[in-house]
Amino acid sequence: KVHDFSALLETKASSAISSFFHCSGYKWYLQVTPKHNQDAQVSPNRKQDDQGNPYVALSLMIFREGLEPGHTVHAVFELSIFNHSKGMYRGCKASYNFNVKNTYSNKECLIPLEELLKSPAFLVDDSCVFGVEILKIDVSSPEMKSAVIQKKATTVQNLFVQKKGFIKGTYTWTMNNFLELDSQHFVRSPTFEVCGHKWYMGMYPRGDKSSTDCLALGLYAESSDELFIESRKVLQMSLSILDQKNGKYFTRTSGLLVCFSQGWSWSDFLPLKELQDLSRGYLIESNCVVKADLTIFGSSSDG
């Protein structure tokens, strides 16, 4: 349930992502994209309206660290939005093959944003309810197994987005020994404090198991900061690497996230060929500069 849907739009975040829920031994997330245009991607279930206005779209995500290389998780699921007037969900059935390189399903467009904002059936007190039901899972692996989806109580999560009073912070990690870092293992920055909480940045300098030709970069909550992790803050982060020749940053920005101990990362943050391109300036001799920008927009809860 997204409370203060208008506040979500005002943040201009590309999406909002739930905290994880469990199904058949995997961790999953539901992603809401409030302004999805279909110029580059056409949903088989629903296209843009005649005027080309954006749709509210949903997609299913799987936690990459729970996947083994070479395994494919084929999931059949239903994405939906709750119609309060009829007391039922309206949605569409979809399927996707998840693996370490493909952890997001296609975005399925459920309702034009303009229609949602005018509808007392879907938007009540500036709040709306989205859902996903996983119907079937098959795992393609050397063992070739199918998972039985056990019926259980619905997981309910509440997302609260503030309209003002955001908390922001920045940290810069400067390395002068990048070429000497262990290329096969996770490398972490010193612990730092922004927004009143403890964090660290982490990377695989030569790529992780899911993307061996890219720099992998992420931001993580320090495990000792248990009160913050339990507080389930809603945040948005941007990670950047500095082109030291022209003083410009290459940046990737997340949607709104619910803070959790595993953190958030891009396994394909920057192709290694671009990192090592001498004309770019991301790596000069052994010097490399990366930066994290963090904004806390609200909080979440179960129930």
- One domain for residues 88 and 206: no
- One domain for residues 139 and 224: no
Q: Are 108 and 46 in contact (CB under 8 A)?
A: yes
Amino acid at 121: A
The label of the residue with tokens 């245009």 reads 37
212: domain CATH number? 2.60.210.10
- One domain for residues 254 and 155: no
Torsion angle in degrees (nearest 10) through CA of 161, 164, 165, 169? 80
Backbone angles phi, psi at 127, to 5 degrees: -130, 145
- One domain for residues 157 and 171: no
Closest listed residue to residue 244, CA positions, set 293, 174, 170: 174
- One domain for residues 200 and 149: no
- One domain for residues 44 and 182: no
Chain segment 165-215, per-residue pLDDT in tens: 788 999 999 999 998 887 778 999 999 998 888 899 999 998 887 788 999
Q: How far apart are alpha carbons 138 and 287 in whole angstroms? A: 45
User: At which of 161, 195, 226 does a domain end?
Assistant: 161
- One domain for residues 13 and 145: yes
The continuous run of DSSP H or E covering 191 comes out as none
As a residue count, the chain comes to: 303
Q: How far apart are alpha carbons 241 and 217 in whole angstroms? A: 10
Mean pLDDT on 134-143: 83
User: At which of 161, 181, 210 does a domain end?
Assistant: 161
- One domain for residues 22 and 139: yes
- One domain for residues 222 and 104: no
Mean pLDDT on 277-293: 94
- One domain for residues 171 and 148: no
- One domain for residues 129 and 216: no
Q: How would you write 14-82 as a 3-class SS string?
A: CCEECCCEEECCEEEEEEEEEEECCCCCCCCCCCCCCCCCCEEEEEEEECHHHCCCCCEEEEEEEEEEE
Q: How far apart are alpha carbons 289 and 293 in whole angstroms? A: 13
The answer, yes or no, to whether residue 82 has pLDDT greater than 90, is yes
The answer, yes or no, to whether residue 286 has pLDDT greater than 70, is yes
Lowest-pLDDT range, 83-92, 208-217, 244-253? Answer: 208-217
The answer, yes or no, to whether residue 46 has pLDDT greater than 50, is no
- Number of domains, the chain: 2
- One domain for residues 8 and 144: yes
The label of the residue with tokens 């063992």 reads 143
Give pTM, 2 decimals: 0.81
Q: Which domain holds residue 282?
A: 167-301
DSSP letters spanning 206-273? T-BTTBTTEEEEEEEE-TT-HHHHHHTEEEEEEEEEEETTTTEEEEEE--BEE--TT-EEEEEEEEHH
User: At which of 114, 130, 161 does a domain end?
Assistant: 161
